[in-house]
Amino acid sequence: MAKFSKKTKTSENIPTSALPDIIFMLLFFFMVTTVLREQEILVEQKIPQATQLQKLQKKTLISYIYIGKPKNTGLYGSEPRVQANDALLTPADIVQWVNQERDMLPEADRNMITISMKIDRDVKMGPISDVQTELREADARRVLYASVGKVQKD
């Protein structure tokens, strides 16, 4: 028993003087990576996984479209809906929306507009294909199926 107490006593305090530095480092990381969400997402978003992800170089060319079941089913029903900017659209409004988005880009880049489709994994292909038909109509043919990385099994 006495053996334990015989141990030489080293200082029991953990030096915390470097703590603020560590915290500041974390803080700066989050400050730099953060994007304050400018719009509220009204539809469910469980982004599917995929392996062959590519990154786009020019982020200014991307416009986002969200498709999924509305979160507020009482107000918007339970069928998948399309959200762009801050409001839910009907497929017929998409052409107009794309044209608005395109007008915001510099002239040289207008034909390079890319639509990032953030689609909930439970949506069926029917509504997606309707949206794609509208995008073809609006001549915004570059589409990015947003997805998150999957751990690859070899």
Taking alpha carbons only, the member of 20, 3, 17, 73 closest to residue 42 is 73
In the complex, the smallest distance separating the C-beta of residue 3 from another protein, rounded to whole angstroms, is 38
Asked whether position 60 contacts another protein by CB under 8 A, the answer is no
Segment near another protein (CB under 8 A), from 1-9, 85-93, 102-110, 139-147? 139-147
Q: What burial class does residue 101 get, using C-beta atoms within 10 Å of its C-beta: 0-12 exposed, 13-18 middle, 19+ buried?
A: buried
Asked whether position 53 contacts another protein by CB under 8 A, the answer is yes
Asked whether position 151 contacts another protein by CB under 8 A, the answer is no
Euclidean distance between CA atoms 131 and 125, whole angstroms: 10
Q: Which of 15, 125, 151, 154 is the binder for another protein (CB under 8 A)? A: 125
In the complex, the smallest distance separating the C-beta of residue 9 from another protein, rounded to whole angstroms, is 25
Using the 8-state DSSP alphabet, how is residue 152 labeled?
A: P
Asked whether position 109 contacts another protein by CB under 8 A, the answer is no
The most distant pair of C-alpha atoms in the chain lies apart, rounded to whole Å, by: 85
The smaller minimum CB distance to another protein, of residues 8 and 79, is found at 79
CB 120 within 8 A of CB 44: yes
Tell me which residues in 65-104 interact with another protein (CB under 8 A): none
In the complex, the smallest distance separating the C-beta of residue 8 from another protein, rounded to whole angstroms, is 30
In the complex, the smallest distance separating the C-beta of residue 148 from another protein, rounded to whole angstroms, is 7
Q: What burial class does residue 67 get, using C-beta atoms within 10 Å of its C-beta: 0-12 exposed, 13-18 middle, 19+ buried?
A: buried
Cα angle value 51/56/58 (rounded, 5°): 170
CB 66 within 8 A of CB 118: yes
Residues lying near another protein in the complex (CB under 8 A) are found at 16, 19-20, 23-24, 26-27, 30-31, 33-37, 48, 50-57, 59, 62, 114, 116-117, 119-126, 128-129, 132, 135-137, 139, 141-149
